[in-house]
Structure formats: C-alpha cells, structure tokens
Amino acid sequence: MHAFALGRKRAALAGTAALAVGMLGACKSDQVLNVNSPDILGEAAYQTPAGVDALRFGVLADFTYAFDGNTDAFTVITGNMADELDATDTFADRLSINARQSSEINTNMEAEYRNMQQAHLGAVNAATVIANVAADKKAQRGEMYLIEGFTEIFFAEGWCSGTPISNNGVPGKPNTTAELFTMAVAHFDTALTLGDTSALGTRVKYAAQIGRGRALLGLGRYADAAAAVAGVPRSFQYVTSHSTGNTREQNGMWSAEVNGATRYSIVSSEGTNGLPYLATSTDPRIPWTPSSRSGFDGQTKNLPTQLKFGRVDNGIVADGTEGQLIILENTLKAGTQAARDAVFAGLNQLRATNSPAIPPIAGSAPTTQDAAVSQLFAERAYWTWLTGHRLGDMRRLVRQYGRDAEKVYPTGQLSGPIAGTFGTSTSIMIPQSERNNPNFTGCLDTKA
C-alpha cells in the first residue's frame, strides 16, 4: 500500500528573539531585514538529483491537501453537492453547494479550486525538473504524471465544463469535460511508461491503470476502461497519508464531519433521490455510529458520525475494487439478461470476498437494463463512499445514461433548519477569479 509523504519539516530555531534584541543596536536597519533563512531551502536546491525527492514530496503534500486534507477538500465538497454529506454550517458558501445553488462567487469553493490548480502545476513543474536532473528516477517522475492525471479527473468530475489549466503564468484555454478526461488519459499513459519494477514503480503503474480506467469511463469508452484496469489486484490501494503534525496534515473528512461542532454531516436518503446510506449500521462499507453532537449551526442535532476516516487515516484515491466495478460496468453495456446476471454475480462476489464478508444482494438479477444500471451505481456508491467518486458518477448517469438530473440528484424541499428547495446545479461553478484569465468567460456547460 502506498502512502504519500506529507509535510515540509522545518528545524526549530530557539532563542532568536533575545539574540535579535541584543544585536539590533549594532546593525544597520537594512541589515536587520537582510537575513538568511537556514530552515528553508532555496529553489535551486530542489533542482538537483538529491533534491528531487523533497520536491516530489511537496507536490504530494499539496495534492493530499487538495484531495482530502482540509475541511473543504475535494472529497468533502463533491460529497456535499452529491448525496453523501449535508452542510451543518452557517456559511452560505457551504449551504449553497448542498442546496445545489452553485455560483461563481464562493470563497470556500474558490480556495479548493486554487488548491487543486496548485497541485496540478506543482506536478507539471516537478516532472520537468526530475527529467532534467534525475532522468534515472523514472518512477518518481511517473508519479508526477499520475498526479496530473488525477487532478484533471477531479476538475472534470467536480467543476462545470470549462476549467482552464494555466501553466506558469501562461493563461490556459477553457477545457470541456471530455478534453479534461482526454488529458488525464494521456498523463496516465505517460505514468505507465515510466513505472518500473520497483515498489514505487509498481504502485504508480497500478494507480495509473485505475485512473486511466476512470477517465475512460468519463469518456464513455467502457471496453477501453475495462481493458485499462485488467490485472490490478483487488487488494491494491493508492492512498493519501495524514498525521497530527498540524491541521493541514489531518484527514479532511475527519475535520469536516467528526471534529467538534462540524461544518458537515453524513446523510441518508437526502432530497428524495439520495441513497439510504445509513439504513443499517452493519454494512462495513458505510461505517457510522449515532452521536449527540451538534453541527456548527447549533441547530442540527444528534449528528451521525462516520467511522471510515479518522484523524490520521489514509485517504483512498484509487483501489482494486474500483477496477472490478469498472469491468462490471463494461459487462453491463451488453444490455442482455446474460450480462445482467453476470454483473449481479460479480457484485455479490465482491461482497463475499470483502473482509469482513458482506451478505449478498437480496433476490435475483434485475430483468431490465435501467434497474441493473441503478443497482450497479448504488453498489459503486457504497464501495466508494466519501472518496470523491459519487458526484462524477451522478454526472455520468445524466450525461451517458440519459437520466433526468432531478431523478438523480437530491431535489425537493431542503431539510430543516434550512428553508426553501434544492436548486438545479449539477456541478460546482468555476470561481469568478478565473475570469482574470482573458481566455475564460464562464462555464462552457453547467450540465455536462
């Protein structure tokens, strides 16, 4: 199992305040400001064979922070737009996303958009540095292409169509959802060519296979997606790593949903269409427990507590179970009863081989394609709960399977204490600050 290295450790400097006071009278004013920072490496230090691992770790730390390392990380805000989380906050920025009333002006969502862009650009630059100064470190460079691919998937699944990818001051052009997935496929292809037989190289290759399959699903290329993930072990996981070093290093889902008077809560059967995640407390894929906690708003009471991610638990970016689900989705595309039977058996096989084992789905295989699709996507939602997959899957149900958005997303009356009804947003809006990019004039499509 691969865990990203987190944190940029700095040496502690003790007693400097007293020393500075004693020396101040003997120094010119400009000398006081012209000091060395012995605990911070200059940029040139990272552009050496010895420095590229530190550079890579910094990129992985930024990626972790954007993916699941803060209260409004990707896993959180997409779960809030989908049917996994409910906002228990007083901030309109979070409440509006939960209510499907997304807009360009949203400080919390803008911060996450910037975090994801920073992770992407860091990976681009690090890949170039590694190629220039440590060409033999292929797996390390491959991991940077891996991060590029995953961030492009997240832009495609989380934000409206039109995300530009700017590069070191050069404004990017708006990219359609399909273009972002296509970019991701290309970067995963490169990661695969750079993976080697080392432990890191093997992890990079397996993760690139899963990421490639996910991007190809987003393009509706089901057979190619299934071929992409072939051979990935069921036990494989590509994960983020968390610690108690500081709030940046904590698991963001824990920060958002468990820690104190939280901004978010897990939810069940949200807005008519939401899945009944909390209908039982015995499904090991949806670990939760009742509590007497209140939300940050002070009005939402007795919040259920998710147990999947603790303060320092690894976050799941990609795993072998996702690969098996991709293969089953391709099988289902045949549209025959034999295919539906095979998928039903495959879903039950995943349950039976889990640890602990999960009871089989009751009854027999669906006899209509529509019911079989619903069953497969429900199982995907349970297996990938709180890992940033659900919003992308809901968008695919609308875009690729022709479902009515108002029969996929939460809809109808908002739950108390919030008044009103759900809006019609199906994605998070690209923030207004992107309009500083002369190529960007707003979302290309808010539904794709």
Q: Name the H helices within 246-308.
A: 252-257
- pLDDT tens-digit profile of 385-404? 999 999 999 999 999 999 99
Residue 173's pLDDT is 98
Phi, psi (rounded to 5 degrees) for 152:
-65, -40
- pLDDT over 90 for what percent of the chain? 86
pLDDT, averaged across the chain: 91
CA distance 144 to 123: 5
Give me the mean pLDDT over the 68-89 stretch: 97
Residue 429's pLDDT is 98
Give the count of beta carbons closer than 10 Å to the beta carbon of residue 293.
19
CA distance 410 to 273: 5
Does 33 or 61 have the greater pLDDT score?
61
Give me the mean pLDDT over the 197-201 stretch: 96
* 122 contacts 133 by C-beta, under 8 angstroms: no
Residue 37's pLDDT is 58
Q: In which band, very low, low, confident or very high, does the pLDDT at 301 lie, cut at 50, 70 and 90?
A: very high
- pLDDT tens-digit profile of 205-214? 999 999 999 9
Class of domain 2-8+43-413+427-436: mainly alpha
- pLDDT tens-digit profile of 155-182? 999 999 999 999 998 999 999 999 999 9
Sequence ranges of the domains in the chain: 2-8+43-413+427-436
Encoded amino acid at 254, one letter? W
CA distance 402 to 220: 12
- pLDDT tens-digit profile of 96-118? 999 999 999 999 999 999 999 99
Give me the mean pLDDT over the 247-267 stretch: 95
Stated as kind and residue range, the H or E segment containing 136 is none
- pLDDT over 70 for what percent of the chain? 91
Residue 179's pLDDT is 98
Q: Specify the DSSP class assigned to residue 229.
A: T
Taking 80 as the threshold, does the pLDDT of residue 324 lie above it? yes
Q: Specify the DSSP class assigned to residue 405.
A: G
Give me the mean pLDDT over the 317-332 stretch: 98
Residue 367's pLDDT is 98
Residue 413's pLDDT is 94
Does 14 or 215 have the greater pLDDT score?
215
Does 160 or 281 have the greater pLDDT score?
160
Residue 4's pLDDT is 35
* 167 contacts 123 by C-beta, under 8 angstroms: no
Stated as kind and residue range, the H or E segment containing 305 is strand 305-306
Q: In which band, very low, low, confident or very high, does the pLDDT at 38 lie, cut at 50, 70 and 90?
A: low
Among 436, 346, 435, residue whose Cα is nearest residue 104 = 435
Taking 70 as the threshold, does the pLDDT of residue 36 lie above it? no
Taking 80 as the threshold, does the pLDDT of residue 11 lie above it? no
Residue 32's pLDDT is 54
Does 20 or 73 have the greater pLDDT score?
73
Residue 448's pLDDT is 83
pTM over 0.85: yes
Kindly list the distances between the CA atom of residue 13 and the CA atoms of 54, 278, 289, in Å, as whole numbers in the listed order.
21, 49, 44
Give me the mean pLDDT over the 71-95 stretch: 97
Residue 39's pLDDT is 61
Q: In which band, very low, low, confident or very high, does the pLDDT at 7 lie, cut at 50, 70 and 90?
A: very low
Which residue is listed with tokens 């805000």?
Answer: 77
Residue 46's pLDDT is 83
Token couple for 68 = 């699941």
Does 352 or 36 have the greater pLDDT score?
352
